[in-house]
Amino acid sequence: MDPGADPETPAVTDPSADPSADPQDGGALEHVAAGEARPQVPGQENPADHRGRGLKKSVADMLRSLAVIAGIVAVLVLVVPRPNSVPLVAVDVVATAEGAAKTLGWQPAIPQNLPAGWKATNAYVNNSGEGILTWHIGYLTADGHYASLEQAAKVTARWEEILTSGGTSRQPQTIDGTIWEQKYKDVRDVYALIHRGPGRTTMVTSKAGGLQNAEILARSLPVQLR
């Protein structure tokens, strides 16, 4: 005790320094330690709850928007007409053969009077291996399979192996008085008929269309151009 202090006079203390003081009494101030959560006032919403509800609302809005977009797309898919397949453009074989003749040095064969439904999908001269120029015509047949004509001069065994897919020999076929060698590759279901004419070798192939389609194509060729 201060020796000069009046022992009858009580000491004056700062009510704000008393942790038990009521903040409403004596003007005491509320103190909240750093990092300590403020006490929630009755009737006031918890900020964490508010943020949670806002997040849920945003997700719900996004899902509704996606559902609306999916519905619009579904309607467009059902309403807008679509072709079942891309139409094939027929090739002008005659015009292509005229240009091919200049490259080959001889007149290539052009199939005649093919059945209805056969469509030429490509025609060109290409290098079929070992530098052998080959006249090629590809057809989509009436039954939806593929057939082709291959014609070249001075062919090799390798040339035949490539174009027949490595087929093995079968019984020769006679078509309109012309003898054709027959080869077949079971793995790819490829039939090939080969005729060795003067100055050129002609091959017709049928993929998955059976021997019948190969015979149709062989029969359509002018005898003098086989």
Q: pLDDT tens-digit profile of 21-64?
A: 444 444 444 444 444 555 555 555 566 565 666 666 777 888 88
CA dihedral (145, 130, 198, 194) positive or negative: negative
Identify the pLDDT of residue 44. 57
Nearest alpha carbon to residue 225 among 205, 198, 206: 198
CB 207 within 8 A of CB 144: no
Q: Is the pTM of this model over 0.75?
A: no
Distance CA 148, CA 213 (A): 10
For the segment 59-107, what is each residue's pLDDT rounded down to a tens digit?
788 888 888 888 888 777 666 655 554 556 778 999 999 999 999 999 9
Has residue 191 got a pLDDT over 90? yes
Identify the pLDDT of residue 143. 94
Q: List the domain boundaries for the chain.
A: 49-82, 93-225
Could you write out the three-class secondary structure of 187-212? CCCEEEEEEEECCEEEEEEEECCHHH
What Å distances lie between residue 168 and 159, 160, 171, CA to CA? 14, 11, 10
Mean pLDDT value across residues 181-200: 94
pLDDT band, very low/low/confident/very high, at 179 (cuts 50, 70, 90) = very high
Identify the pLDDT of residue 10. 47
Distance CA 75, CA 152 (A): 55
Distance, CA of 83 to chain centre: 17
- Buried/exposed code over 98-121 (b: 16+ C-beta within 10 A; e: otherwise): eebeeebeeebbbbeebeeebebe
Distance CA 128, CA 185 (A): 19
- CATH for 93-225, options being 3.90.550.10, 3.30.200.100, 3.90.1150.10, 3.30.1330.90: 3.30.200.100
Tokens of 71: 């519905």
Mean pLDDT value across residues 200-212: 96
Please give the residue that has the higher pLDDT: either 65 or 185: 185
